[in-house]
Chains A and B, each alone.
Chain A
Amino acid sequence: MANGTIAVSPHTAEVDFYNVRTKHKGILSWLLTIDHKRIGIMYLFAVVFFFLVAMTIGVFMRLEMLTPGETIMKPQTYNSLFTLHGVIMIFLFIIPAVPAVFGNFFLPIQLGAQDVQFPKLNLLSWYLYVIGAVLALTSLFSGGGIMDTGWTFYVPYSIRTTTNVSLSVFAAFVLGFATILTGLNFITTIHRLRCPGMTWFRMPLFAWALYATSWIQVLATPVIGITLILIILERAFGIGIFDPALGGDPLLYQHMFWIYSHPAVYIMILPAMGVVSEIIPTFSKKAIFGYVPIAISSLGIALVGYLVWGHHMFSSGISDTSRVIFSLLTFFVALPSGIKIFNWVATMYKGSIEVTAPMLYVLLFIFIFSIGGLTGLSLGALNTDLHLTDTYFVVAHFHYVMFGGMGIIFFAALHYWFPKMFGKMYNEKVAKTAAIWIGIGFNMLYFPMFIMGYLGQPRRYYDYLPEFQKYHIFSTVGSWVLVSGILIMYINLAIALKRGKKAPDNPWGGTTLEWKTSSPPIMENFKEIPTVTTGPYDHSNMESQEVKK
């Protein structure tokens, strides 16, 4: 693609998509837009807002755990807070963050298209997301109080509790619909709108990752949809399907829940892996090592990830046979993930590595995600899992995978594509400092949880035995370091947004199509539809476009 025949000259008088004349004026030019870039930007501000909200809740939870017994809140408040933290982070931040923000903005551009296949449906997805978010927020201030079931809504408690479960669950249903429509849109876009010469195996790996993700979104989300609707019906009418008092089986609920929610874990991580596969070649100045295995392993993760839900239920009372099978399948998922890690590291080998802020985040990701992935195997093994289940070990594991995986890569993507999205450069030094703070704070916050969990500290308790206090103090202090790092990062980007230097078209020497157009891109993305003649990470012709410092 490096020597694609694109006649886009840099820095012409071409009008970027922010300043282009649109059908509607002012705020309506955003709220009624069908431009994938504007929709991506709207998603960005929404997910960052919800991330900050859920992060604040997390800080308060850590503060409560500073001392044994009641520190700043009652047990019921703590129950509601960890539910809220989970629901907001999962449904409003982690699931939509990378696909809806960067996928929307960059998928069409990377494919050399002008927009997604169904632009109006895309806008509808954004509105469904906002409606879901508003419903979730409404549920906090109405009905019987803030939901206290945890983000998993396990029956029979979610049927019995008087808190406002129905509305929150409905919010999750609506958010699921938004996810489905985005996935449907992306699959069709990838099939139909690739530019001339863009064969399947010339697609950037980010597009491959989004393709695998979209299939999971389309195939898994409806199952949680019907399950959540059944909770609402159960609460409203008492139909009995999940109610043990009427003959229903709570275990069946857990199956139905995790049939979606385990693949959802890969909805969260796969797009992040796609971003990593973009950033590493760019800053190693080298083509990716093992393009095809990385592309195929995304599909592999999607496929195997569909079949491992039972490992969330090892201690719930499923049969030994199913436990052994699910445990074995769980180990299989580690294979495609391992393939990716090895290929990324091999890409850097003998490359000309430039440790910029995005690259620093990616390195941090490889370190953290490896710990998260390997501890996942301890949990996937039956005997260790029985000891560690429902302890802080699990909490530490999924924060290492989710936050360390997807969250850190969200930051990386934000720094990598910031110049392209906003046409401004940020302060590199501050960005790197923030990344280091985040790295230190993250490990301080979550690593002690592995130890605590191993020693038997159960999750979701607002209280603990005094001997755990030293770990809790360490962890809480870590949360302060982490949060200050995150705040420095966002403030640095906010300043760049206002006063940053104008970004060149290709500040990093990237080779994929988004670096061939202006920063920010024009409304139609390209002046003329590009034609692609090589693979996505061909650095052989990049010497002439040396990075402008």
Chain B
Amino acid sequence: MSYNSDSSVQEIQEVHIHRDDFGSKMGMWLFLFTEILLFGGLFIMYAGYRYLYSDGFAAAATELDVLLGTINTVILLTSSLTVVLSIVALQKNNKQLSLFFLWVTVLCGLIFLVNKYFEWGAKFHHGIYPKGPALQNMSEGEVLYFGLYFVMTGLHGLHIVVGLIFIGYVMRQIQKDVITSVNFQKLENSGLYWHLVDIIWIFLFPLFYLIH
């Protein structure tokens, strides 16, 4: 292709990008729908197998540490609060406070992952992992329970990591004054994502830890 010389069209690609906060939030909500359906598939399978193997599921659920699960729930709920606070702080033009709340969020996310690491580690230590020695002696319901447990909490953990990366990126943008009190849609979007991660956990927690 040859390039005609027409000086009026310089940087023409820039016109394609325009700011539309509402549109950007809408895109984020659609993306959250897809995430819910992704986990929705797993929740359907959980429901199906819970119905088929209710005894096995009840027996396996006693293996989980309710205290650790509760602590993690509290941690995640707190982190959701701090994300909201950071948005409010930024809206009120308090950059430092906003960053502080995001730091708290990141810290909560990390503590959650560390707790999860110890939980999984303990299971592995007892031989409870796919094809592990302890699991092979358990009933089919228990095998499926732990199969789902590892997949669902694993996928959820992965989402925490992604959420932390989003928040880390947003924090840099706030520091560089790209995200400001009048242009905070990216912060709000990563906040939405973080709430989603939180909500999924709110369903995972009773399904795996509390129903015996």
Which residues of A approach B to under 8 Å, CB–CB? 15, 18-23, 25, 33-36, 114-115, 117-121, 180, 184-185, 187-188, 191-193, 218-223, 225-227, 230, 233, 237-241, 246-249, 252, 256, 259, 523-524
Contacts and interface: CB of A to CB of B under 8 A. Distances in A.
B144 A218 contact: no
Interface stretch (B6-14, B95-103, B105-113, B161-169): B6-14
B144 A240 contact: yes
Nearest to A245: B140
B144 A248 contact: yes
B27 A239 contact: no
Interface string B27-63: 1001101110111111011001100110000000000
A19 B140 contact: no
B142 to A, nearest CB: 9
A226 B45 CA distance: 11
Contacts of A248: 144, 147
B169 to A, nearest CB: 15
B137 interface: no
Nearest to B139: A247
B3 A117 contact: no
Contacts of A226: 38-39, 41-42, 155
A19 B2 CA distance: 6
Given A184-B31, A237-B130, A246 B144 contact: yes
Interface SS of chain B: helix, strand, loop or mixed?
helix
A242 B131 CA distance: 14
B12 A21 contact: yes
Q: Top 5 nearest A-B pairs by Cβ distance?
A: A247-B140, A239-B147, A222-B37, A222-B38, A115-B16
Given A119-B16, A246-B144, A21 B6 contact: yes
B17 interface: yes
A188 B23 contact: yes
Nearest to B12: A523
Contacts of B139: 247
Given A21-B10, A22-B13, A239-B150, 13 more contacts: A19-B4, A117-B20, A118-B24, A119-B17, A187-B30, A191-B26, A218-B34, A219-B34, A222-B35, A230-B151, A239-B151, A240-B147, A247-B140
A34 B40 contact: no
A188 B26 contact: yes
B33 A219 contact: yes
A120 B18 CA distance: 12
A15 B12 CA distance: 11
Most chain A CB atoms below 10 A, which of B35, B41, B131: B41
A246 B34 contact: no
A424 to B, nearest CB: 14
Interface string B136-155: 00011101100110110001
B45 A524 contact: no
A202 B88 CA distance: 40
B23 A218 contact: no
Contact of A222 (B4, B10, B13, B34): B34
Given A19-B3, A247-B53, A117 B140 contact: no
A191 B42 contact: no
Given A21-B10, A33-B13, A239 B130 contact: yes
12 contacts: A20-B9, A21-B4, A188-B27, A219-B34, A220-B37, A240-B147, A247-B53, A247-B140, A247-B144, A248-B144, A256-B41, A524-B12
Given A20-B12, A252-B45, A192 B147 contact: no
B42 A221 contact: no
Contacts of A36: 16
Contacts of B144: 240-241, 246-248
A252 B48 contact: yes
B10 to A, nearest CB: 6
A222 B40 CA distance: 9
Interface in B111-128: none
Contact of A238 (B9, B11, B24, B131): B131
Given A241-B148, A246-B143, A114 B1 contact: no
A239 B24 CA distance: 38
B182 interface: no
Contact of A192 (B23, B45, B53, B155): B23
B15 A114 contact: yes
Contacts of B44: 256
B23 A247 contact: no
Given A21-B9, A117-B23, A241 B45 contact: yes
A452 B17 CA distance: 55
B120 to A, nearest CB: 13
Contact of A19 (B1, B15, B37): B1
B34 A221 contact: yes
B23 A191 contact: yes
B45 to A, nearest CB: 6
B46 to A, nearest CB: 10
A188 B20 CA distance: 11
Contacts of A114: 15-16
A319 to B, nearest CB: 14
B143 A247 contact: yes
Contact of B17 (A34, A223, A230, A523): A34
B38 A192 contact: no
B51 to A, nearest CB: 11
Contact of A225 (B9, B30, B38): B38
Contacts of A238: 130-131
B22 interface: yes
B154 to A, nearest CB: 9
Given A22-B13, A35-B13, A118 B37 contact: no
B40 A233 contact: no
Contacts of A19: 1-4
A48 to B, nearest CB: 19
A34 B13 contact: yes
Contact of A21 (B3, B34, B148): B3
A240 B37 contact: no
Nearest to A180: B34
A21 B6 CA distance: 8
Contacts of A21: 3-6, 9-10, 12
A241 B151 contact: yes
Nearest to B148: A241
